[in-house]
Structure 1
Amino acid sequence: MPEWGKGAAKESLTISSLRTSDESGYRWMADRMLELAAEQSGFPGVESVREVDGFGMAVSNSESDETIASWQSQAKNQVAQEACKALWKEHY
């Protein structure tokens, strides 16, 4: 848990999903998005868990609502989200 000080996460975005059985390409895409997110101002990290049945949750931490909105507006992130929904998620 981050401390609530300068540069610490103050906002979180939580996403739940149910993954399909097709894993091909998913890890590559997830790694690219983590690399891109790490370049964003105000992004201290993300935590995720997944059950064996494919249900999982991810919590992305950020300094503010503005930094979350900035991340969500990134074109590469939007393309990745659409690919994720189409290829790897039964529920998103």
Structure 2
Amino acid sequence: MPITSKQNEAGSYLNPADLVGAYAVIFLSKRTEIDAGYGQAADRMVELAAQQPGYIGVRSVREPGGLGVTISYWRSEADIKAWRQHLEHAATRETGRKQWYQYYELQVCKIERAYDFGLD
């Protein structure tokens, strides 16, 4: 189920003003037909990332055809690098390459401005 722009995975609000100066890791992916263990691994990665220094939050959506976007927010590039090198994350990433992803790309961006709009 897609989340609204005002929620992270846990349903709590990510204040755009708190994101200015932080980094966004944008993970665009296309899934394979293989689903074995994917949901549990994705949930574990969100749980584990939330325990890392510098982690701010995450937003994620996936369309029925398998195309997905996950954006995680971090305080520094060093925090992102530490997360990338985390052993469990690295092992899960390798499983993703072998089984779950047909394709993915990743971009790291510094957030210069952030704002939102909502009717609710």
TM-score (ref. length: structure 1): 0.88
Higher gyration radius (CA): 2
Matches of residues 1-92 of structure 1 in structure 2 within 5 Å?
1-5=14-18, 8=19, 10-92=22-104
Q: CA RMSD in A?
A: 1.5
Q: Aligned pairs, how many? A: 90
Give ranges in structure 2 of 5+ residues lacking alignment: 1-13, 105-120
Runs of 4+ in 1 over 6 A off after TM superposition: none
Q: What is the percent sequence identity of the aligned residues?
A: 33
Instruction: Name the structure with the higher helix share.
Output: 1
Give the deviation of 1:3 after TM superposition. 3.9
Give ranges in structure 1 of 5+ residues lacking alignment: none
TM-score (ref. length: structure 2): 0.69
Distance 1:50 1:64 in 2: 26
What is the DSSP-based 3-state SS (H/G/I as helix, E as strand, rest coil) of the residue aligned with 2:79? helix
Distance 1:3 1:87 in 2: 35
